[in-house]
Structure 1
Amino acid sequence: MSRPVIAVTTSRRSGWRIFPLVALNVWIGGGRAVRWGAGRPSDLDTVSGVIVGGGDDIAPDLYGGAPVTKARLDPDRDALERQIVEACLSRGIPLLGICRGSQMLNVALGGTLDQDAYATFTRSKKVYTILPKKDVRVESNTRLQEITGTAPMKVNALHSQAVDRLGQGLRVAARDTGGMIQGVERIADPFALGVQWHPEHLFYAHRQRAIFRALVTAAKARDDGRAQNPDVSADAAYS
């Protein structure tokens, strides 16, 4: 059986080292990854799913935020990824957002970001590491709960911003113990999930691998002309 092709957007600076790790997770989940980015070819007709990867902050003018002087921004990547997210949702292409990608999913749907999330959520544990040191609670009755279960999980964290006001059609899928949003998901098809942490670094954990498998399952469903979210739910229950 052929593997669905999953596009992975990356930054110009760090994509060379991040993409192989994401590609490994996609392969374990049953897909095959190709790297996209600003200045690289990107044709949605050639893929079955998309991962919007992590990296630099999103320019605040995309969601009405305050101008910042210290943040590292990439306007070309912002424009590309926003266009990709909007096109995926309009064309029924499943999508996974990782860290920045989760935020872009929210922004593309009209949501906003908290630019200094740890100042707002003072009870949230502030960590900046690829090691699993942040406690996250998955919300009940969500698709993420079907994929990973509701038991608390330890994840990593490499962010200072977080989702604030939800974009249209999204719901909260996970929060940390201080209440900060750590996961969002689209309620209806196509499958679209965003996680604030980096599951690609946690490939040794079954629940983190399941996130990539869910995207691949949704991609296969789309290729076969089936509804995506029911297949994701059924595959999660089977596994």
Structure 2
Amino acid sequence: MTFKVGYFRSSRMQEIEFALRSLDPGIKAVEVATPTGLRDIDVLLGGGGPDLNPALYGEADEHCKRFSPDRDLREYQLLDQALEKGIPFLGLCRGAQLLNVLLGGTLYQDVEKQQGGEAIHDGHQVHQVQFSGLGSRYMGKEALVNSNHHQGVKTLASGLTLIGSAPDGLPEAWHTPGAIGVQFHPESLVKDDPRWLAVFRWWLEGAA
């Protein structure tokens, strides 16, 4: 089965498309920016990008770098509709944070300033992540992952199951039936380590 993938605009779309076509060279990917775009897709992906508007989780802007209220609200509403329709969702970095916020979770607007853990999350560092449950099935019990995010999960939504954490306790992976979120960028790891294709395979299995 060749899947039609819908996606929210991402800063790493070339890497995402490489990962998808490594699984299926014939896969089709189309940007979703309106509700009509949800009609003909099998799965939906939200990738990396700017910070999320803290108003979405009930806070004022104190530490955000940049965000787009219009884009954030649009993608928030589209993801809500997609989940209601049963369209499997994969969130990478910003997309994973959006999933958490939609389901009632909150974010650190600036991880380094507000969380103060040992792992460096903003920049081009790497750190160890411990996986559990379905996370360990698809990603192994532990792995070094890339770290390039300014924001992070402060409170995980009650409807999400934590399946991966950094050494400082920051959530790195979570899921709920029909949706997966990973804080890091597996699409950037695929070329050097094809095992990360398992994250995308897990997501596509939901639409098979």
Is TM more than 0.5 here? yes
Match of 1:43, SS state, is: helix
Aligned pair count reads 205
Quote the residue 1:175 is aligned against: 165
Q: Distance in 1 between matches of 2:18 and 2:194?
A: 14
Displacement, 1:185? 0.9
Structure 1 residues 129-148: aligned runs within 5 Å: 129=124, 133-138=126-131, 140=132, 142-148=133-139
Shift in alpha-carbon separation, 1:103–1:156, aligned structure 2, 3 A: same
Name the one with the larger helix percent: 1
Q: Distance in 2 between matches of 1:86 and 1:126?
A: 28
Residue 19, structure 1, aligned to residue 13, structure 2:
yes
Shift in alpha-carbon separation, 1:70–1:168, aligned structure 2, 3 A: closer
Residue 46, structure 1, aligned to residue 40, structure 2:
yes
Q: TM-score, normalised by structure 2?
A: 0.89
Structure 1 residues 63-74: aligned runs within 5 Å: 63-68=57-62, 71-74=65-68
Equivalent of 2:109 in 115, 125, 136: 115
Gap regions ≥5 residues in structure 1? 221-239
Q: Distance in 1 between matches of 2:80 and 2:58?
A: 18
Quote the residue 1:235 is aligned against: none
Match of 2:155, SS state, is: coil
Which consecutive segments of 4 or more residues in structure 1 shift more than 4 A? none
Match of 2:207, SS state, is: helix
Residue 162, structure 1, aligned to residue 152, structure 2:
yes
Q: CA RMSD for the aligned pairs? A: 2.1
Structure 1 residues 25-44: aligned runs within 5 Å: 25-30=19-24, 32-36=27-31, 38=33, 43-44=37-38
Identity of aligned residues (%): 33
Q: Distance in 1 between matches of 2:45 and 2:72?
A: 14
Q: Distance in 1 between matches of 2:165 and 2:27?
A: 30
Q: Distance in 2 between matches of 1:87 and 1:51?
A: 14
Quote the residue 2:203 is aligned against: 215
The one-letter code matched in structure 2 to 1:36 is E
The one-letter code matched in structure 2 to 1:145 is S
Quote the residue 1:237 is aligned against: none
Displacement, 1:65? 2.1
